[in-house]
Amino acid sequence: MPDYNEQAGQYSSWTRCKYIGIDNPRPHLGVPAVTFVEERCINVDGEEVQRPLGNLVEPFTPENAGEAFDLVDPETGAVLGSMTYQGLYVALASAYLHVATKRDQAQSAPPGPPAE
């Protein structure tokens, strides 16, 4: 017996990273790591459904600090260069300092003139 209301159509699926978490414990309390939370996207006849897949965790250690990976343009897929794990760790720490400094400067800025 066929399934009720069974329909055949266009189908595609892919895996994507939905969320990236960075764990940056104090050195004596653990190892820094990046966690990629993956999901499966399924497109059936133009309707997209997401299903959680789990976590992919990679630590930042002295042993892998020099490991390099391609920098890939997320829009085109073109390889733009490469970066090491150590470079990524430095870039993330620098991005945090940049954003925190902007926040602190905005909080300490004198108020502007009253609106008319």
Q: Say what the pLDDT of residue 11 is.
A: 86
pTM for this entry: 0.77
Coil, strand or helix at 23:
strand
User: What's the total number of domains in the chain?
Assistant: 2
- How far is residue 1's CA from residue 8's CA, in Å, rounded to a whole number? 16
Per-residue model confidence as pLDDT tens digits over 19-63 = 999 999 998 999 999 999 999 999 988 899 999 999 999 999 999
Q: Say what the pLDDT of residue 6 is.
A: 61
Q: Say what the pLDDT of residue 50 is.
A: 95
- Residue 43 and residue 31 share a domain: yes
* Phi, psi dihedrals of residue 73, rounded to the nearest 5°: -65, 120
Residue 6 belongs to a domain: no
Q: Say what the pLDDT of residue 8 is.
A: 65
Residue 2 belongs to a domain: no
CA 64 to mean position of chain CA atoms: 19
Residue 65 belongs to a domain: yes
Per-residue model confidence as pLDDT tens digits over 79-102 = 999 999 999 999 999 999 999 999
Q: Say what the pLDDT of residue 109 is.
A: 79
Is the pLDDT at 115 greater than 70? The verdict is no
- Residue 73 and residue 43 share a domain: no
Residue 77 belongs to a domain: yes
Q: How confident is the model at residue 3 (pLDDT cuts 50, 70, 90)?
A: low
- Domain with 42, as residue range(s), is 11-59
